[in-house]
Amino acid sequence: MTIDRLLEGLKQRDPRAIGRAITLVENGDESAQAILSSLDEDLISQAIILGITGPPGAGKSTLTNGIISELRQSRKRIGIIAIDPSSPISGGAILGDRIRMMQHATDRDVVMRSMATRGRLGGLCATAGAAVRIMSSCGCSTIIIETVGVGQSEMDIIRLADITLLVLAPGLGDDIQAMKAGLLEVADILVVNKADCKGADILAMDLETVSRQEGATNQARVSMTVATENKGITELLERIAEVDSEHRDSGEREKRRRGAHDQEVLDWCLEILRPRLLAEITKRDLPLLGDPRLKAKEILEEQ
């Protein structure tokens, strides 16, 4: 496919062209600049980027599936970026979230993309950011980024989102106080999924208490859902719309997008420098003893 045909395909919102464009950008192809420069800035600005994270077993994929179904009833076009852990041998994605969302596989207005971590934090974030812009420029009014669990990679990727949902469920042994210094502080909405299970009300009350305590940096809202039965999804989307409106009016949304853009540029800088620095380190055959931090500082000062 020529670059002209690809750009025309993006204008026509062709899912195959979208997938091809993301692949080219991900691989650092020379056509990436032409692709990303051709995108519709107005559509990108209008889209909502929704981050969904939480521990394994909380029901993130089921909740995501319910959100997609609800939004499609309103004929909205949806983009999905599923961040999967990857095989240490092949580098391919292991979980394959698209398999769990097969009911939407033939829907041209649900654009799905699985991205394997491959151990790349910064590089993955940079590629995911480009994928978000390509999808939103092609008419996806909501872009959902679903991550693999709770950890540093999720914290990095979730910064791309306008609104972050932290999905929890009763009975998983989540230590809320331990999580408070991390994801609870960046989450805009705390979702208690599997709300029909024992302990859901207690978990919701604990989350309310932690999010409202003195000194908390973010006053997150709490919602309850039973994703397997599509219960609470409509109310959750209403809450997302409320938060989005507040963020647009206060300037928080623009602040987050500017921060995400600057960090994305930094991620690409690090991704480009990484192989060069590794070659320099290998060439020096450094002694095993000594402070690695000081060695790194010396190398950087000489560059």
How far is residue 226's CA from residue 204's CA, in Å, rounded to a whole number?
13
How far is residue 77's CA from residue 68's CA, in Å, rounded to a whole number?
9
Per-residue pLDDT of 120-146, as tens digits, reads: 554 566 688 899 999 999 999 999 998
pLDDT of residue 178 exceeding 50: no
Per-residue pLDDT of 186-234, as tens digits, reads: 789 999 999 999 999 988 988 888 777 755 556 788 999 999 999 999 9
What is the structure's pLDDT at 90? Answer: 45
* pLDDT-based confidence at residue 279 (cuts at 50, 70, 90): very high
Average pLDDT over residues 287-297: 92
> Coil, helix or strand for 254?
helix
How far is residue 280's CA from residue 275's CA, in Å, rounded to a whole number?
9
Query: Rounded to an integer, what is the distance from CA 139 to the centroid of its chain?
Result: 18
Contacts 24+ apart (CB under 8 A), 277-281: none
Domains in the chain (CATH in brackets) are 1-37 (no CATH), 39-252 (3.40.50.300), 266-302 (no CATH)
Per-residue pLDDT of 143-158, as tens digits, reads: 999 886 655 555 666 7
What is the structure's pLDDT at 231? Answer: 96
How far is residue 4's CA from residue 87's CA, in Å, rounded to a whole number?
35
DSSP H helical ranges for the chain: 3-11, 15-26, 32-37, 41-46, 60-73, 122-137, 152-158, 176-179, 183-186, 200-212, 233-250, 252-284, 292-302
